[in-house]
Amino acid sequence: MQVGFYGHVRQYHNIKDEIDKNISEVLESGNYVMGPMLSKFEEKLASYAGTKYAIGVGNGTDAIWLSLMALGIGKGDEVIIPANTFFATAEAIWIAGAKAVLVDCDPRTKCIDPDAVEAAITDATKAIIPVHLYGHTANMKEVAGIAKRHDLKVIEDNAQSIDGHGNGFRQGELSDAMTISFIIQKNLGCFGDGGAVVTNNAVVDKEVRRLRNHGSLKRNVHTFGFNSRLDDIQAGVLLAKIDHITEWTDLRRSWAKKYSEGLSSCTTIELPYEAPGVRHVYHLYVVETVDASKRDSLQNYLQEAGIDAKTHYSIPIHLQDGYPWGKDAEIRGSLANVEKNASSCVSLPMYPELTADEADYVIEKVRQWDLKNT
Ligand SMILES: Cc1ncc(COP(=O)(O)O)c(C=O)c1O
């Protein structure tokens, strides 16, 4: 059996009529950029997120640096992030001209460790970017408390966890802005690049709208800006998909439950952790080998069995070749949990359109490997 890592085409086939209808509406309208479909999607996204504003942008990376710029963060400012995130979180800070300060993650949730954040704060610190990694919402209550005490801005990098929530709080509720990526493989993915900023802050809304469109809010009137817009075809795809996101998350959660039950007897791997009260959306189902030196063996075993197991992210930012490429960056404190995760992580196939046979096959092969390695 072959088990792929993604189910994009299956998903497209399941709701083809809804997607095709919106794409055709855009094509027939002649409005392909900043048109009515984008506005419709922005309204829908804001109402879904429970925020006053949603602004569609070119991708999830731009969403982060546009938010930083909108909040006035740039040269000379420090921004604290977890070192175990997709590269783009750090990249966005450098694009905004600020310094990336890398800290450790919580050993269980893999999200930023609030104690490490607090210990990393200096007079130059201006913002924290917690990342809702793998589908698990970060501990925003603690992060927001720290931000309040030290007068810092908070941007939630929610590229990976749309439709989740924390213990007693919504995503986007306890921050100045939240950024989303809609790249193909995300839980709410379009057919290319896409992103958004959602916020309750009118200044961030206005600034991101201006910056994404060549510094212009009115035809022919410009200040300094960029070109980073979510195009209307992608907005149409997302408008069709957003109505399904909760049902898709529930499916992901049911596959995660099946994996966790099926793998509960394994002694050589650790299973993903879900903190009490958190709705984990399982963007990724990441196990860790207890013995990091056996990670590649597990991944190769699954690959040879036709299962497309991947790693997220086996080389953390600070261990990439050439880091930090002349950019402003600093590690503060130990990154032991980040490095353990990087060296032992394996992501199993996870998407709503998996079948029970595929999930059973993945469980069977992981268990076989576990028995051989016990
Ligand atoms: C945590 C995280 N932040 C930022 C991004 C950047 O998003 P994009 O690829 O849409 O620029 C991604 C995903 O790609 C991500 O996973």
State the distance from the centre of ligand 1 to the C-alpha of 88, rounded, in angstroms.
6
- Who's near 367: CB < 8 A, 6+ residues apart? 262, 263, 265, 266
Q: How confident is the model at residue 281 (pLDDT cuts 50, 70, 90)?
A: very high
Tell the burial category of 123 from Cβ atoms under 10 Å away from its Cβ (0-12, 13-18, 19+). exposed
- Confidence class of residue 93 from pLDDT cuts 50, 70 and 90? very high
> What is the percent of the chain where pLDDT is above 90?
100
**Predicted local distance difference test score (pLDDT) of residue 132:** 98
pTM score, whole prediction: 0.98
Mean pLDDT along residues 297-324: 98
Q: How far is the CA of 71 from the centre of ligand 1 (A)?
A: 20
Residues lining ligand 1, judged by CB closer than 6 Å?
59-61, 85-86, 88-89, 131, 157, 159-160, 181, 183, 193, 195
Residue with CA closest to ligand 1 atom 8: 60
Q: Are the C-beta atoms of residues 287 and 271 closer than 8 Å to each other?
A: yes
Pocket test for ligand 1, best of 57, 59, 61 (most atoms within 8 A of CB): 61
What is the predicted pLDDT for the residue at 249? Answer: 98
Q: What is the mean pLDDT of the chain?
A: 98
**Which residues does 134 contact at the CB level (< 8 Å), separation at least 6?**
110, 160, 161, 272, 280, 282, 283, 284, 286, 312
What is the structure's pLDDT at 340?
98
Please report the pLDDT score of residue 278 as a whole number. Answer: 98
pLDDT tens by residue, 24-55 = 999 999 999 999 999 999 999 999 999 999 99
- Residue in 102, 183, 191, 193 to alter for ligand 1 test, most ligand atoms within 8 A of Cβ: 183
Band (pLDDT 50/70/90 cuts) for residue 101 is very high
Q: What is residue 151's predicted lDDT score, i.e. its pLDDT?
A: 98
Confidence of residue 58 (pLDDT cuts 50, 70, 90): very high
Structure confidence by residue, pLDDT tens digits, 337-368:
999 999 999 999 999 999 999 999 999 999 99
Q: What average pLDDT does range 198-222 have in this prediction? A: 98
CA atoms within 13 A on the CB side of 178: 30
